[in-house]
Amino acid sequence: MTPASEYFGGSGGLAWGDNVPATPPGESIPPVHIHDARVEFGSDSVRKGALFAGLEAEFAAGVFTSILGSSGVGKSSLLRLIAGLPPRRGTATGAVTDGDGKPLTGRVVYMDQRDLLLPWLSVLDNVLLGARLRGEPCQRGRALGLLAAVGLSGWEDARPDVLSGGMRQRAALARTLMEDRPIVLMDEPFSAVDAITRLTLQDLSARMLAGRTVILVTHDPIEALRLGHQVQVLAGSPAWLDPPVAPPGVPPRDPADPALVGLYRVLIARLQAAA
């Protein structure tokens, strides 16, 4: 990844995101089971519809799953359901549990496509937000380490408004990693950053999130194939999940790999068939 190192002005190798040890998750990794999920909106008289009607899904423990789908198909709604958040509109029902039938509360971290940094907190305090909300002691050292890992050394005390879009999203990634949860939900986390930053953030995420149950929602087949142990297409109305496609090799994969190019065609065909 020479271009990235040049871009970030590092002297020899990447200026950041390199040689960051994967933090092993502190607790056992659960799978995610979704049973009979329904998200319905509209009343009887007005336009009534359902994003999901009896959706069933299982995401194995420790597996990185990429979910592809066109806009509005319900990708974000699926993640919100797993995160325990109410749908943006309509009502949601259904059971989201780990393998043992227990709820996932407190074991999930959620990263949105918007950075959602709080403008009144410094970058460091944004990374420490979860600990602050839970009244836990702040692990400043770990937070500073994560900020260094995402290339934001020296920016700890800056307010988010002086950061560029890519830097803000890197801070949001540091905040996500700081949470150290076994289940990681990501909603198009890198859709708003430039191509090179996206590659570096993908590499970083693949390395730092290895071993966790990750569900990444994206509309970019390349991103899905680079990062996922398996890729599933969410399509239809009400939506369902296609059988997974499993790219060979270990993520993060080289996007120019011929095997990936072949799978890219498969996924595009599935997405086109669904449209």
Please report, as ranges, the residues that interact with other proteins according to CB under 8 A: 6-9, 15, 80, 83-85, 105-106, 108-110, 112, 114, 116, 118-120, 129-130, 132-135, 154-155, 158-159, 161-164, 167, 179
Amino acid found at 264? Y
CA of 51: how far to CAs of 34, 37, 57, 81, in Å?
A: 14, 10, 14, 12
Smallest distance from the beta carbon of 204 to other proteins, in angstroms? 16
Nearer to other proteins, 113 or 237 (CB): 113
Nearer to other proteins, 17 or 221 (CB): 17
Calpha distance 121→161 (Å, rounded): 10
Q: Is 85 exposed, middle or buried (0-12, 13-18, 19+ CB in 10 A)?
A: middle
What is the enclosing helix (H) or strand (E) of 85? none
Smallest distance from the beta carbon of 121 to other proteins, in angstroms? 8
Nearer to other proteins, 135 or 243 (CB): 135
Smallest distance from the beta carbon of 70 to other proteins, in angstroms? 22
Calpha distance 54→37 (Å, rounded): 5
Query: DSSP string of 144-157?
Result: HHHHHHTT-TT-TT
State the CB neighbour count (10 A cutoff) for residue 5. 19
Nearer to other proteins, 179 or 220 (CB): 179
Smallest distance from the beta carbon of 271 to other proteins, in angstroms? 27
Per-residue b/e over 44-76, b at no fewer than 16 CB within 10 Å? eeeeeebbbeebebebebbbbbbbbbeeebbbb
Smallest distance from the beta carbon of 17 to other proteins, in angstroms? 13
Nearer to other proteins, 52 or 155 (CB): 155
